[in-house]
Structure 1
Amino acid sequence: MSAAPLRVTVHDGLALATIAGSGEGNALGGTFWDDLRTLMTDVSARDDIRAVALMGDGDTFSVGMDLRWYVVRLRRAERSHDGTFMDDDVRRLQEAVTAVAACPKPVVALIDGACTGAALELVSACDIRYATRRARFALPEAELGVVADLGGLQRLPLLINQGHLRELAFTGRTIGAERAADIGLVNDVHPDSAALRHAARTLTDDIRRHPAHVMEGIKATLDEAHREGVRRGLDHCAHWNSTHTGAQGLRHAMTARLHNATTL
């Protein structure tokens, strides 16, 4: 695995960001979250970039949060008796995902293999989602005794209906690409990762036919109606997890999950 958790190449108006993360399965930890926020700031300011695509390294988008990385952070918080750590840290991660939603350029997720937990919340902040037939999706945070708190519960209702979302969130059930397409979670299903990249290239070419300020205006107008509600929802779930689960409870749940050799 590359030492860089997020690698970026730019070609003909498309910034292709490849997620390697900080652990197996492109798990999201370490500097990934800061790198993601920096990427969105950088592409927002570049006139040569008209669209952004997020994809995973290899045959997996991402298995979600890097539990090994986060358990270490929780242990440090416990030793320092920092009662605000969990609330403050969740808000920092929320800001990284919100940076994707706030990017004025269209952002498309190219999803192959697993896209679970925090990764599903991340792609919910993208404008468009393309998946391969191998893609699978889950929102299993309830298994750790926490409410999904990086924006999935606020942004997924803009994509799928409440019944489908509640089924995913209540059960932690995994669904495949075809089911995801049926409920509106993904725009299209493609045969393989090469086809995903071709779809992103075609999308960018279509976007380049229109003035950049018009694309920015469309995105801003679509987002405006929901921005305040998303913000309130993010505040609510961050406070809920901090109050009802806490750093120690989350650390115990994550440690148990790691002992079962699984990752959220």
Structure 2
Amino acid sequence: MTTRTTECFEVSIKDHIAHIRLNRPEKRNAMIRSFWSELPQIVNGIDAEASARVIVLSSTGPHFTSGLDVSAFGGSEIAPGAEGNDADTKRKAKLTAGQAFYQNVLGMQDAFSALENCRIPVLAAIQGGCIGGGVDLTTACDMRYCTQDAFFTIYETKIGMTADVGTFPRIVKILPEGIVRELAYTGRRIHAAEAKEVGLVNRVFADHATMLDGVMEIAREIAANAPLAVAGCKRLINYSRDHTTADALDYIAIWNASMLQTGEIMEAMTANAEKREGDFADLPPKRSMGA
């Protein structure tokens, strides 16, 4: 097993499963400045090197995450603009503040989009509070699992903001629109049982340890399948979600016409008949143009 630690995360890879853990429990895993660069670097690195077949995203402490740590950002990030007190500097800061804020938010959105765009399935294991940016984060994952004490809240509304890092484009494709509107307009908590009932989470577990055991078992089941087939499933599910049925059917036909691997199909069938693990090809590493 390989393990490394960053300011916000602990990352380990074993048996084709990458486990990314938010690792600031003393701060309720609040999303500080380094969070937004570390997460996409970790996810994109795993994807680029094809070093795992599944990613499990979990956390530490009583809460999954309290969301964005506003105190960790300077005024230039939350209300961007040039520093200084003279009239000309203030004038220029006011003119450019909107564009600077826009660029900052795009960068934060990209951090979560890395989870959706990577070729590898991402399973989120959530305990306690999943607050504000935590909802943005987990809705970018393929599946969500939680403990009985878990709750979710689009908390931005409560502090006078509109969630802007990914919640709305994704959650409206997970939950009925009326439920989304209620959660967004009120900012109320949706607890584990209701989250399971409306389809926000796949399964609810009694406690953190039981949840991690259960999610890792699901991850192992995914990792036992042909990586090329699983990656194709993720690509085509995302495409089908965002396009018409006719467009998706055509894309699936084109995809299989170019990507279908008869050798992997035969290996999967033979391994299943012989009750053994399949000897599958891993995803090819991603290469830059200069590689």
How far 1:152 moved relative to its partner? 0.7
Counterpart Cα distance in 2 of 1:108 and 1:117 = 19
Residue 217 of structure 2 is aligned with which of 189, 198, 202?
Answer: 202
Partner of 1:29: 32
Q: TM-score, normalised by structure 1?
A: 0.80
Contact kept, 8 Å, 1:97 with 1:122, in 2: the verdict is yes
2:72 is matched with which residue?
Answer: 69
C-alpha distance after superposition, 1:15-35 (max 9, x if no partner): 111113597211112211111
Aligned to 1:40: 43
Which of residues 167, 173, 188 in structure 2 aligns to 1:158? 173
Q: Is the 8 A contact 2:22 2:29 kept in 1?
A: yes
Partner Cα distance (1:101, 1:204) in 2: 17
> For residues 218 and 20 of structure 1, what CA distance do their matches in structure 2 show?
31
SS in structure 2 of the partner of residue 126 of structure 1: coil
Q: Which runs of 5+ in 2 are unaligned?
A: 84-92, 245-291
AA partner of residue 192 (structure 1): D
- Confirm or deny that 1:92 pairs with 2:128: no
In the alignment, is residue 193 of structure 1 matched against residue 208 of structure 2? yes
Name the structure 2 match of 1:225: 240
- Per-residue displacement from partner, 1:161-218 (whole Å, max 9, x unpaired)? 1011111000000121111111111100001111121122211221122110101100
Letter in 2 for 1:67: V
Structure 1's consecutive aligned runs of 4 or more residues displaced over 6 angstroms after TM superposition are: none
Letter in 1 for 2:68: M
Q: Report the counterpart of residue 54 of structure 1 in structure 2.
A: 57
Check conservation: 2:56, 2:216, Cα contact below 8 A.
Answer: no
CA distance in 2, matches of 1:215, 1:188: 21
| AA at the equivalent of 2:53 | R
Query: Counterparts of 1:61 and 1:219 in 2: how far apart (Å)?
Result: 25
Q: How many residues align?
A: 228
Mapped partners of 2:24, 2:169: distance in 1? 24
Higher relative contact order at CA 8 Å, sep ≥6: structure 1 or structure 2? 1
Amino acid at match of 2:185: F
Mean Cα deviation higher: 220-229 or 63-72: 220-229
Asked if the contact 1:52–1:105 (Cα under 8 Å) also holds between the matched residues in 2, the reply is: yes
Equivalences for 1:245-264 in 2 at 5 Å?
Answer: none
Preserved contact between residue 22 and residue 30 of structure 1 (Cα < 8 Å): no
Matching residue within 100, 103, 113 for 2:128: 113
1:20 matched to which residue of 2? 23
Using the aligned pairs only, state the percent identity: 28
Return the alpha-carbon distance in structure 1 between the equivalents of residues 79 and 168 of structure 2.
28
Deviations 1:103-144 (A, max 9, x none): 111101100010011111100000010100010110021223
Quote the Cα distance in structure 1 between the aligned partners of 2:165 and 2:208: 26
Q: Quote the RMSD (CA, aligned, Å).
A: 2.1
Rounded to whole Å, the distance in 2 between the matches of 1:74 and 1:127 is 29
Q: Deviations over 1:52-88 (max 9, x none)?
A: 1111122210011111023544477334414222100
Aligned partners of 1:159 and 1:76: how far apart in 2?
32
* Unmatched runs of 5 consecutive residues or more in structure 1: 230-264
